[in-house]
Amino acid sequence: MTGRFDLDRTPDGYRVVADREIQAPASDVWRVLVEPDHWPTWGPSVTAVEFADERIRAGSSGRVRTVGGLWLPFEIATCEDYRWTWRIGPVPATGHRVTPLGPDRCRVAFEIPLLAAPYVLVTALALRRIARLVE
């Protein structure tokens, strides 16, 4: 299935939301999103991650290496109820969420800050990669 883009009100205010229905259990998709070892596999802008734990949690931090080779610090702001948000340095970055739609179906979404709206193109590729990983 293809993705869609919309302007939605999120817990962090209005964001551009890119989402896609995936034929996989929500728990499988969530695991791919919260285990940093998976991020370079689906995240087009992430080439490596330094993180001490297996899974993220609110308050945890690490570093991501971008496509340009720059290492940037991150901190997980929230992580609960199939939704997590983070900050890259001092800047609020994308939110990530999974909505169960049935036992083997869910919707995965990225919440993009309005000032970073062009990043929606990167998230479209990420949604396709996540679908390939779990379907």
How far apart CA 27 and CA 73 sit, in angstroms, is 27
* Residue that is written with structure tokens 């689906």 in the block: 42
Beta strands in 23-60 (DSSP E): 46-50
- Work out the mean pLDDT of the chain and round it to a whole number: 96
The CATH code of the domain that includes 23 is: 3.30.530.20
Neighbours of 88 (CB within 10 A): 15
pLDDT of 47 above 60: yes
The string of pLDDT tens digits covering residues 69-104 is 999 999 999 999 999 999 999 999 999 999 999 999
Per the structure, the count of domains in the chain is 1
3-state secondary structure of 67: coil
> Residue 95 and residue 83: Cα distance in Å, rounded?
7
Residue 56 domain boundaries: 4-134
Q: How far apart are the first and last CA of the chain?
A: 11
Spatial separation of the C-alpha atoms in residues 61 and 63, rounded to whole Å: 7
Strand-pairing partners, residue 19, are 4, 109
Is 44 a residue whose pLDDT tops 70? yes
17 DSSP assignment: E
pLDDT for residue 16 is more than 90: yes
